[in-house]
Amino acid sequence: MQELINRLIEKANITEEQAKHAVNTIKDFVKEKFPMLEGAVENMFASKPENNDAPKQASGNVMDKISELIPGQTGEKVEAFAKEAVNKAEEVFDNLKDKLNEVIHSEKK
């Protein structure tokens, strides 16, 4: 999940708190629209606790986890949906950022 948060911070130029909120909103949306995938969504977005004693595993990104958790065509559809959701979230935050900048600049005048 942290990788997705970092990507939102970088691409949408938002704070970590805003990115976490966006990811949780997307997660809740996917669970609401696809209740049969709730367990998979929770596993995919689960935060892994840091444990230095645990063996290191190869870490993949969120999209890789989708295909591991949901094989076949369904996994491909969920992956495409998740990518589109990320793109939409980035657009929303870009628009929000632009609106906030407009408000801030108009108040300074």
Domain range list for the chain: 2-47+58-108
How does pLDDT run across 51-78, given as a tens digit for each residue? Answer: 444 444 444 566 666 666 676 777 777 7
The pLDDT assigned to 107 comes to 63
Q: pTM for this one?
A: 0.45
User: 5: exposed, middle or buried (C-beta count within 10 Å: 0-12, 13-18, 19+)?
Assistant: buried
Residue 26: CA count within 13 A, CB half-sphere: 27
pLDDT at 14 over 80: yes
21-48: average pLDDT: 81
pLDDT at 29 over 80: yes
The pLDDT assigned to 65 comes to 65
